[in-house]
Amino acid sequence: MIVSLSLENWMSFPNPVTFSMCASKERQHGDRITKLDKYQTRVLPVAAIYGGNASGKTNFFKALKFAKELVVKGTQPDSLIPVEPFRLAAKGSEKPSQFSFELLIDDDIYDFKFSVTRKAVHEEKLTIITRTSEKVLYHRQNGKIDFDEALAKDRMLEFVFKGTRDNQLFLTNSISQKVENFKPIYTWFKDFLELVAPDSRFGAFEHFLNESHPLFSTMNEMLPQLDTGIAHLGGEDIPFDNLQLPDPLKTKLQEDIKEGMTVRLLTDERVVVTRKDGELVAKKLVTFHPKADGTEVKFEMRQESDGSQRVIDLLPAFLDLSNVASKKVYVIDEVDRSLHTLLTRKLLESYLSRCSAETRTQLLFTTHDALIMDQQLLRRDEMWVTERDLAGASNLFSFSEYKDVRYDKDIRKSYLQGRLGGVPRILLGGNLTGEHSIEAAREGC
């Protein structure tokens, strides 16, 4: 779980901003808040980020994407780090961009932070936080690294650091050298942080093709309840040679896919390719709609509406979030894209109804849908707003910071009136709408 994360000098965020998932003292929806008795704290299961167009919501999402790729994929020798600093300041592009993640992994909280420019990692630090103290496992700075006393005796770690390139995280290189000490952090970024962009095809669609998967029946039972017109989904076998793919890609698949291995092709057809008995076989996802006479007719995925396709992409994520054994964190940019507001609300209610003190999943999402800005659905500390100032700099605030936002207040009305910030500053007939600043709102309007 994400306990908190901080950014500085990243895209439209030139100044330090901190996004906290620690619950405030308010009591509303308290039964669904994760309790960490070891740390005597509570962590929120959900967070919604609102804001006008170009206010910084997607840039926040991209920060997580950048961090995940830097940790998991790393960089190539002599390549530049694809960091994107704030470009509207005189010297913003020269300063390091800083990232800090406070993460609950199993029963421990880790603080992992790093600062980078396009050419090098300037600082990297990993700390494990106990109930009463903090232990720095390693701290890399100015071309040197210091290890915790218990780790300093391991000469392998010093050897791995000497082989770590300037443009590479020590964490990433240590995993490639089979060092196990810091693997929980790497594994969290690799396997437990799921990022879903507005235009991406979420990879878990293959669950709809596998009748033996535990979620297969649940997904097909829930799909008709969401008013898509789809009775159920299924798979259709197609010859590999019939796939409409570029020849170089077909050749690469022939070379790379081993026996029993399955690869997703995230195209409009949503195809998976598997090698079985030495041959490549393909299966694509199709939908079935009921006819008046009780029979069914098959539809191709491209024949479905954007909204139905978005539901199919998101449903496996929401069902995974509702799994009591899951520990994944899903970050969805524009969760409401192509979805009716009641459908978006239904998905959120379904997840939140299953959250409890033992929950270890989280959902972070950006949205423009003000109709789900409802304190019957979300707590004040679960609702955030991004706002861009006249200098192009983004800021990030929680609604719990506003003094006049009571638990029984129509928060949607105040937001749309511009009293809470995060709405477009639209110039109409010489009058600027949405002109109320966040600072004024936090002091009380």
Query: What are the residue ranges spanned by the domains of the chain?
Result: 1-198+333-445, 203-313
pLDDT in tens, 123-160: 999 999 988 889 999 999 999 999 999 999 999 999 99
Q: How confident is the model at residue 435 (pLDDT cuts 50, 70, 90)?
A: very low
Evaluate if residue 289 carries a pLDDT over 50. Answer: yes
Nearest to 435 by CA among 366, 374, 389: 389
Nearest to 138 by CA among 119, 112, 159: 112
Contacts 24+ apart (CB under 8 A), 204-211: 204/316, 204/317, 204/320, 205/264, 205/270, 205/285, 205/312, 205/313, 205/316, 206/262, 206/264, 206/272, 207/316, 208/233, 208/234, 208/235, 208/285, 208/312, 208/316, 209/234, 209/235, 209/272, 209/283, 209/285
Evaluate if residue 192 carries a pLDDT over 90. Answer: yes
Predicted local confidence at residue 11, as pLDDT? 96
> How buried is 400 (Cβ within 10 angstroms: 0-12 exposed, 13-18 middle, 19+ buried)?
middle
| CA of residue 282 relative to chain centroid, distance | 29
Best CATH choice for the domain 1-198+333-445 from the list 3.40.50, 3.30.70, 3.90.320, 3.40.1000: 3.40.50
Nearest to 266 by CA among 213, 205, 319: 205
Q: How confident is the model at residue 419 (pLDDT cuts 50, 70, 90)?
A: low
* DSSP state for residue 301 in the 8-state scheme: G
Least confident of 98-112, 203-217, 368-382: 203-217
Residue 234, H or E segment: strand 232-239
| Cα–Cα distance for residue pair 370/368, rounded to 1 Å | 6
**Percentage of residues in the chain having pLDDT higher than 70:** 90
Amino acid at site 163: G
Predicted local confidence at residue 89, as pLDDT? 82
* DSSP state for residue 10 in the 8-state scheme: B
Asked whether 46 and 380 are in contact (CB, 8 A), the reply is no
Angular region, 391: left φ>0, alpha ψ -120 to 50, beta rest? alpha
pLDDT in tens, 252-265: 998 889 988 888 88
| Cα–Cα distance for residue pair 296/357, rounded to 1 Å | 43
Evaluate if residue 443 carries a pLDDT over 80. Answer: no
pLDDT (average), residues 299-305: 91
**CB-hemisphere CA count at 13 Å for 261?**
9
Predicted local confidence at residue 93, as pLDDT? 65
- Matching residue, tokens 């002599």: 78
pLDDT (average), residues 1-14: 97
Asked whether 314 and 195 are in contact (CB, 8 A), the reply is no
State the virtual CA torsion across 85, 89, 90, 94 in degrees, nearest 10: -20
> What count of other Cβ atoms lies within 10 Å of the Cβ of residue 135?
12
Asked whether 235 and 209 are in contact (CB, 8 A), the reply is yes
**CB-hemisphere CA count at 13 Å for 120?**
11
Evaluate if residue 164 carries a pLDDT over 90. Answer: yes
Asked whether 259 and 251 are in contact (CB, 8 A), the reply is no
| Cα–Cα distance for residue pair 188/103, rounded to 1 Å | 9
Tokens of 33: 């808040």
**Top-confidence residue, 308 or 405:** 308
Tokens of 20: 């906290």
Q: What is the 3-state secondary structure (H, E, C) of 93-161?
A: HHCCEEEEEEEEECCEEEEEEEEECCCCEEEEEEEEECCCCEEEEEEEECCEEEECHHHHCCHHHHHHH
| Cα–Cα distance for residue pair 122/28, rounded to 1 Å | 42
pLDDT in tens, 364-412: 999 999 999 999 999 999 999 999 998 999 999 998 887 766 666 777 7
| Cα–Cα distance for residue pair 337/330, rounded to 1 Å | 16
Evaluate if residue 62 carries a pLDDT over 80. Answer: yes
